[in-house]
Amino acid sequence: MRVVVEAADVLGEGPVWAASEGRLYWFDIKRRRLHWHAPQSGEAGEVVLSMRASAAAPRTAGGLFLATDIGLAVFDPGTQAVEVVRRMALPAGFRTNDGGIDPQGRFWWSTMDDNGGVRPGAVFVTEADGRTEKVLDDVHIANTLTVSADGATLYLADSGRQTLWACDTADLSRRRVLATTDGDVAPDGSALDAEGFLWNAQWGAARLVRYAPDGRVDRIVEVPVDQPTSCAFGGSDLATLFVTSARDGLSETALGRQPLAGALFAFEPGVTGLPLATFAG
């Protein structure tokens, strides 16, 4: 596991690979930053946002489609401008959280109570034509939102309930428990690899866990910080797994022990990721 960018993110989240640009993007939700890193050149940069954004999908036309606390938006990497294309009024004290694109090009995203998910949030799906539907209620901290290569299974984590589910995308009420965590450990963001295994970042445990489709723990990879938040495959061959992390809530003592908290990390797990669809809207 190596350090890629010492971003010092308060809440690093939402990594996504934009193949057309050769960039990995991710957010610091709390500081309203959109970061990027180009592995081939080693260049990195950031954009200061006027809103809190947390999740994105690569667009067919280039750039990103974003979930933000004031609505859905488009990011243009050339001008670095963000245009809100659909304003949405979230309940007071709520923000967006995780999100991802499915093989059909639909964007799944979630909302959560910014007070640690005390009140339950929801999961939404946005079609390429902009139609947006709430598809799930009563999820306290919805994470992962990763869809299998055949489009049949949505992997969903409720960090508040310390549970990972495998859901039928045709009927989200049909779901099975993939895995649970205990103690102060919560399943956070995830990425699927080309073998159909789910890599899950586990907040509070300083680790990534690779789960088989039946929920069996296949591998555990240690991360040098307590709060890894999510992961995404990237690079030209999708052979690198990038890992975001957070400093949020860590004491001075904890930060002294893990000064790289909030950095972007990467390693080569020996398996490649799945190419992402693009959002046509």
Q: Is 188 among the residues known to form the active site?
A: yes
Beta strands 94-101; 33-38: pairing state:
unpaired
Separation CA 43–CA 81 (nearest Å): 20
Closest to 157 in 3D by CA, of 182, 179, 183, 185 = 179
**Going edge to edge, which strands form the sheet with 186-192?**
186-192, 198-203, 207-211, 217-222
Contact 229, 189 (CB under 8 A): yes
H-helix or E-strand spanning residue 255 = helix 252-257
Q: How many CB atoms lie within 10 A of CB 236?
A: 11
Q: Which residue is catalytic, options 188, 218, 226, 237?
A: 188
In the numeric block, which tokens belong to residue 62?
A: 């280039």
Q: How many CB atoms lie within 10 A of CB 46?
A: 18
Q: Please list the active-site residues.
A: 188
